[in-house]
Amino acid sequence: MMFQKGNPMSQQQGCMKYMFLALPLLTAWIAYTVPAAVGFYWICSTVFGFVQTLIMNKFYSPDILNAKAEAAHVARLELDEKNY
């Protein structure tokens, strides 16, 4: 059985930092080597996805969804109390 030395979270953060820096460079290199339409498509797709994520998070944030669910639950409980 092998034991890990050090903090596994710090190792994971180091890997994430590497990927955070390396992946955009790799994507830029691939976009440079393929025809221009592919790079343009990637840029448009990324921008559209980013805007879509912002809009979805604004209207469907976890806080808003939890508040709506709790309000519906309270309303059901009140309705059940009225019926009995």
Task: Give per-residue pLDDT as tens, 40-50.
Answer: 898 899 899 99
Q: Within its chain, how far is the Cα of 81 from the centroid?
A: 40
State how far the Cα of 25 lies from the Cα of 31, in Å rounded to an integer. Answer: 10
Q: For the segment 49-84, what is each residue's pLDDT rounded down to a tens digit?
A: 999 999 988 888 888 889 999 999 999 999 988 887
Tell me what pLDDT residue 19 has: 85
Angstrom distance (rounded) from CA 27 to CA 22: 9
Residue 4 has pLDDT above 60, yes or no: no
By the 10 Å C-beta count (0-12 exposed, 13-18 middle, 19+ buried), 42 is classed as middle
Does position 3 have pLDDT exceeding 60, yes or no? no
Reduced DSSP (H G I as helix, E B as strand, rest coil) percent helix, strand, coil of the chain, to 5: 85, 0, 15
Quote the CA–CA distance of 3 and 62 in Å, as a whole number: 38
